[in-house]
Every structure is written in C-alpha cells, then in structure tokens.
Structure 1
C-alpha cells in the first residue's frame, strides 16, 4: 500500500504547485513567477510520510526519538529546498550537501521505520530533478531507483512495495514539469524579444516616413519661399499667392507628420503625381507626368507613390534639371531628369534606404544611377514577383 500511496503522490506532483526548473546558472533553477507560497502546497505532500511517522511512534527509546527528529528534519529540509530552490540552485555544492543531508536523515529513520524510510527517496529524487542540472540529476535519480529496489529485495524483513517504481515515476513527473517550465520560460523570452523588435521596427518605420514626408514638404516650401522672395519686388500678387501656398503646404506637412506618428499615414499614387507636378512647377522644372494611374495594381500603388515622392524631391533639391519625366506602367515606375547633378544626394541616403526597404518588402527591385540614354539621373522600381 505504501508504494501505491507514494506513486499517487508523485504523479500529482511531489513539489506541489508544479515547481519546475529553467536554465539558470549551472543549468537548473526554479521558474520565475512561481507562486509566492509554493512551500504551502509542497508541505501538503508530506502527508505521504505518515507511514514513517506511524512506524516510528510504534517504537520506543532512542530509536523512536532519533527517528522522529530525523523525520522532522527531513520534512524541514524538503520544504526549505522547495521554497528556496531557485536561490540555491546555482550553488551546486550547497545543493548536493542538502540532498545528502536528506538522505542521511532518511537513513536515521531506518532503525525505527524500517522499509518505510524508502518513502523519503521519492522526495529526494523529485527535488534532485528540480534543483540539479539534468546531466547530474538523471544519473542520481537512477541510483536512487536501483538502490530502493535492491534494499527492499536484499534486506531481510523488508517488503518491496514498489518504492523503486515510485522514485522513477516521481523523478519522471518532475522532469516533465521541468521541461514544460523551460519551454514556457523560452516562449516568454521569445515573446519579449519579439515585442522589443516590433517596437524598434515601428520606430524605424515612423522615422523613415517622417524623413520622406518632411524631406518632400520642406523642399517644396524652400523652393516656394525663394520664389516668393524674388516676386516681392516684381509682382506682389503672385508673391502673395506663393505665400498662401506655403501656408497650405506647412499645414499639410503638419497633418502628415501627426498621421504618421499615429500610424495612420497612407499616400495615394494620384495624389503624389499631382504633388510632383506642383513641386516641379515651383522649381521651374518642366514636368512630363502620367495623366492617370488606373493600370497600376493596388498592391504596388503605395510603393510607386513613395518612389515618385522621393525621386521628385531629390530632382528638385539636387539635380539642377530643367526637365523631369515620370514613366509609369503596371509593373514599374521610372523617374528620369536631364540635370548635371545627382538625383540622390551622396551625403543623405535615408530616403533611398527607406525606398530600398519598401521595394524589398513589396517584392520589387530598386535601380538608381546615371541615365544610359543621355545626361541626367534615373530612379526605377520594378516589380519582379
């Protein structure tokens, strides 16, 4: 009956409350975040030491006294290791000392409790599988299993109530809990890492979008401000019109920045074509732009819109071109100019990097360089998948 009782207790979880290990220190430790009063649940399993207590109380003299003191000490060490296992698991000499002390206290019960003292091996095996590294815990529990079976078979008068099997089941159950705890710990760590990466990616996205939005808007604002300054002495009404456009551009830019920061930014291809026409006109660049974008699939419209925005901004800012052409098809967009300068600045590659990232995510290829058919610069994005 004793063996059956111990086995039942082990299957339920000798450590009480599922106290399991995670990789820590030397490879063992208790799962973070376990119940604060786990020792209370662990103490419940001391009920299965009742047969030891009954056998010792039936004795007399020093055999009973030593056995009872040893049983109490064993229970105290067991609860201590369950409650403080995480703190001591990285200190292997101390862990081994405590486990050996528990085995010693179990041995002191033998004169009075006889074969019932083998019940203690179940607790020791379960604890060892929790607080020791696996490469030490497995052979140690194997020795306990063999020892429990041999002692019950070799010592005269002892009964084999399945103590070896109880130790095996207890250790296996605890090992299973340990593996589950390790997987949960790694899963939690992976989730935290993914959360950090998501925040970093979102920050990078917002930074890239703000760069593209402000780069375009502020370039147009600068061009119009220069134009308005020149017109003040020539045509006040035209200068006033340019200043009104500046105010509208500034308000639009502010709205775009707010929308981007809130994750609601979205640009349209027709809108960027219209904005490119205004920007090129303000910079006195002849624009050859498509009249419609109906043939462009919806999945690449945003990519093409960003491409036009970035390329036209750089034409206005850096190229010194007199003419700019946007060539749009269902699978590609190409922006070419005839300027002597570079269409993409050498010192500021953030817009180009952002465009490369967007093209890669959309399964497209970005090509940037000098035109092969004449002077000027070319930016091309082509969908390949």
Structure 2
C-alpha cells in the first residue's frame, strides 16, 4: 500500500519519491533546465536484448557440471556479468541515461569481467565477447562506435587466440558483427522515433499557425464590419425622427454589410479569401462617410500583385476601422504609392481621441489588430509603423518590398473623393481641382452628403428646419 505521503503527492499532482524512487542526476538536471524529464524506466524494446544472454548457457552448464575450476569464482563472475549486461541494455534507449557516466562505467566493468573470465576459463566463456560487443553497440554512438568495435574485435582475437588458437577468428568476427549490427538497428529505431516526434511537432505547429491565422482574419473581418454596422445603426437612429427614407437607406446598407460579412467569414474559414485593395478602398470611403469623416484617397504607381493588394487591403481595413471607432476625426487620408524599391500605404487622420458617445475600449484587448498586421507584413518582408502623426492625429504606415510588384504600369493617380462625393485628381504642386461626380447606376438615385444646417449645399441654402449634425456631413440616399 502507498504511504500517506504518496497519496498526498498524488492528490497534488506531483511526482512522489515513493512511486518512482529518487530522481536520477540527469532527471534533476532536466528539471532544473525546464525540460520534461525523459522516461528512464525499462522500455518495452529493452527486453529484446535479453534473450542474447542464452549465449552464456554453455558457461553456465560447465559451471554446474563441475568442468570449471574454482566454480565459486566463475559463478560470481557470471552473476556480475549478467547484472551489468542487464543494467547497460535497459539504459540504452534513453539518450541522457545512455551517456551517463554510470552507464559507461558499467560497460568498462563488463569488459574487465569478460577478459578475466575468458583468460581464466576459455572455451564457452569466450562467447561473452560477442555479448560485450552487443552491449557496446547499444551504448556507443558517433565516431567512437567504429573505434570501439575495432578495439573489442582485436581484444577478443588476442584473448581467444591465447586460449583456443584458430577459434579466435570466429570469436573476433562475432564480436565485431554483434557490435555493428546492434548499433545499426538501435540507430534506425532512434531515427524513426525522432521522425515521429518531428511529425507530431510539425502537426502541432500547423494547428497553431492555422489558429493564429483564423483569429487574425476573424478580428480583421468582424472588427471592421461591426464598426460599420454600429455607425450606420446610429445614423439610422438619428435620421428616423426626421427623414425616414434616409433611415431606411441606412438600414438597407446594414443588411448589405451583414450579408457581405457572412460571405467573407465563410471564405476566411475555408482559407480562400483574397482581399482586393480597390474593394477595401471603396469600403473605406463608405465607412468614413457614414461616420461623418471626410475621406481623401490617393493611389499611384504600378499595378500591385494579388498578395500585396491583399496585405495592403488588411492595413486599410484595420486603420480605417480604428479611425471610425476611436479617432473622433473630421478628415482621413489614405495614400497608396509605389516607390522604386518599396510600395507604401499610409492612413492618417486628424483626430484627437475617442469620439463623443463612444464607449471606452475594454481593457486587455487593444492592439490585437495592429499586432496581427505586423505579423502578416513581417512574414512578407515588410514593416508596419503606427503612432501619432507629425501634425497630430494618428498615422499607420505599411511598407512592402518592391519584389511584390509584377512590373511597371500606369502611374496616373486614382481620383479621390471627398465627403461631398466629388472626384478629385491631385496635380503636382497644385491643389486638387473639383471634377464631376460619377453618374449613378441606372434605376438608382444619386447619393449625396447633406451638410449641417447653416452651410450651403451646391450653391443653395439649407432649409431652416434641417437638424444639426455633430459631423461635417451626413449621408442621405
């Protein structure tokens, strides 16, 4: 029965000395280094080396039949040899135990006992040399294996030649063969175990990487989508008492955003989602306009590869989501430019903090989006910087190597849009000039931004009863 100390250790989930005995020196060293201790008990395949002890049955028979002089000395030698052999072979399947000094000392003691018994008795006692070679092959590895095998072979040949003459050839050959074959079989077994362990480690890392990928995708997808839903819901609530049509348009946008989010989540789960930078820029304009933030979008440089567009799309999505949720800004600039050596995307706003009416962020969950973006860009050889801008506000800058670019292409900047829906094309050294807004799709009404009361819209004066808006503009159907 176990003692009370054993039961207490078992309840506490610790290793009880009474169960496994005192920890070996290499076990204590492994624990001190923080490594899991290796199994030191007799492994199942250690018993495969025990049947070879039957090679010593001839000496055992001679001992009990009285053919051996001084049988007590021979019996003690036989007992010591068998004990050392069992000790060595059962420690041959754990690297730390195999390389321990006690194991090497036991192997040397086996050699001394073998030489003594072989010189004293000869005959069947010479078969202990192949057993010694088997134990040496189970213990010795690396460059010392060949030296050990040759040394034992020469020793067996000399001793057997001294006792039995030409029988030394068979003894020497058996010693060399048992040493090398045992080492080869056990080395192959160790290689198989290492490969199995490596396969399990690769599978574990693959699962961990997939979990991290899915968590990043889920954060980036739902964080942006839910922010847009919240902003449009607030806009619909404000518009409902005064402009039911505008409120219904916001509700329709919420439905569209929700359906798109379902599609993106399904694609993210299957791992086939490839983001488009143009799509993300359009969504960024829509989200910023819905939040009452004036968007300014500029894009120049050659066409980007699909991977670069996907990475920069994530950057735009996350930065715009943070601007909508936390900045309280009135203007947000998104710039994508292809440089000779790198492609750069910058999202900056002029905000100074959390917008009014927005609840504070929960503690301990901030920054996961930027951290995920940093990991994505670092894996592609890029970088991400986020912090306060030179003129206030917040700026997110992402850079990727130009090797991601497929080749030269048109460098005409993409027209950008302000909060009034007017397309602007910046010219070098000049301020952006207004241009006609794109025509609406057939069958739909043009969308416009109604400015706050007191400001003219398209040259007209706003109606006297128009509600005031805390932002620079309001999106109407």
The alignment status of 1:360 with 2:378, answered yes or no, reads yes
Contact 1:337 1:378 (8 Å CA) reproduced: yes
Question: What is the aligned partner in structure 2 of residue 378 from structure 1?
Answer: 395
Q: CA 1:309–1:57 in 2, change beyond 3 Å: closer, same or farther?
A: closer
The alignment status of 1:266 with 2:270, answered yes or no, reads no
The alignment status of 1:63 with 2:67, answered yes or no, reads yes
SS in 2 for 1:332: strand
The alignment status of 1:332 with 2:336, answered yes or no, reads no
Give the Å deviation of 1:378. 2.0
Deviations, residues 4-49 of structure 1 (Å, cap 9, x unaligned): xxxxxxxxxxxxxxxxxxxx979xx99x9x997984x996x899x6
Deviates more, 1:300-309 or 1:265-274: 265-274
Give the Å deviation of 1:106. 11
Higher helix proportion, which one? 1
Question: What is the aligned partner in structure 2 of residue 216 from structure 1?
Answer: 224
With CA pairs under 8 Å and 6+ residues apart, which has the higher RCO, 1 or 2?
1
Contact 2:140 2:183 (8 Å CA) reproduced: no
Deviations, residues 261-314 of structure 1 (Å, cap 9, x unaligned): 332333211211111111111101122224899722333111111111011111
Give the Å deviation of 1:203. 1.1
Deviations, residues 151-195 of structure 1 (Å, cap 9, x unaligned): 222226663324234313321332233333334333332332222
TM-score, normalized by length of structure 2? 0.58
Aligned pairs, number: 352
Question: What is the aligned partner in structure 1 of residue 205 from structure 2?
Answer: 197
Question: What is the aligned partner in structure 1 of residue 159 from structure 2?
Answer: 151
Contact 1:232 1:239 (8 Å CA) reproduced: yes
SS in 2 for 1:327: strand
Deviations, residues 54-76 of structure 1 (Å, cap 9, x unaligned): x9999x96439x9xx9xxx9xx9
Give the Å deviation of 1:207. 1.0
Taking the aligned partners of 2:101 and 2:389, their CA distance within structure 1 comes to 70
Q: CA 1:271–1:202 in 2, change beyond 3 Å: closer, same or farther?
A: same
| Structure 2 unaligned residues grouped into runs of 5+ | 1-25, 30-37, 356-360, 403-477
Contact 1:220 1:279 (8 Å CA) reproduced: yes
TM-score, normalized by length of structure 1? 0.69
| Structure 1 unaligned residues grouped into runs of 5+ | 1-23
Taking the aligned partners of 1:356 and 1:250, their CA distance within structure 2 comes to 27
Taking the aligned partners of 2:318 and 2:279, their CA distance within structure 1 comes to 14
Matches within 5 A, 1:212-361: 212-290=220-298, 295-330=303-338, 331-341=343-353, 348-361=366-379
Deviates more, 1:160-169 or 1:130-139: 130-139
Taking the aligned partners of 1:63 and 1:181, their CA distance within structure 2 comes to 41
Q: CA 1:341–1:57 in 2, change beyond 3 Å: closer, same or farther?
A: closer
